[in-house]
């Protein structure tokens, strides 16, 4: 990843509405062709992705979450039998 200068850093970051004020939250900013990710407690460390990479990441996270929910339900049914 290329270094991002202070001047090139996005000014407007968004975090999940589920994130409480003092929590460690992932923050996202979209600027031009790039999507930036950072941890709210370490804002100078950035991950820069293309929009395609961002879409792939979201798809993977959603798939993994769905698999975990499905696995959890299966284990819950096994315990109750």
- Each residue's pLDDT expressed in tens, for the chain with a length of 81 residues: 456 665 667 888 998 888 877 778 899 999 999 999 999 888 888 899 999 999 999 999 889 887 777 766 666 666 655
Asked if residue 34 is part of any domain, the answer here is: yes
Asked if residue 1 is part of any domain, the answer here is: no
Domain enclosing residue 58, as ranges:
7-80
Give the residue among 52, 61, 44 at the shortest CA–CA distance from 3: 44
Report how many domains make up the chain: 1
Region of 58 on the Ramachandran plot (φ > 0 left; ψ -120 to 50 alpha; else beta)? alpha
pTM (whole model) above 0.85: no
Asked if residue 42 is part of any domain, the answer here is: yes
Asked if residue 2 is part of any domain, the answer here is: no
- Asked whether the beta carbons of 9 and 46 are under 8 A apart, the reply is yes
């Amino acid at each position: 990843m290329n270094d991002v200068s202070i001047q090139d850093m996005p000014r407007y970051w968004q975090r999940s509405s589920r994130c409480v004020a003092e929590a460690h939250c992932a923050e996202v900013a979209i600027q031009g062709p790039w999507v930036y990710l950072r941890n709210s407690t370490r804002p100078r460390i950035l991950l820069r992705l293309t929009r395609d990479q961002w879409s792939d990441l979201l798809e993977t996270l959603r798939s993994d979450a769905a698999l975990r929910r499905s696995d959890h339900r299966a284990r819950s049914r096994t315990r109750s039998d």
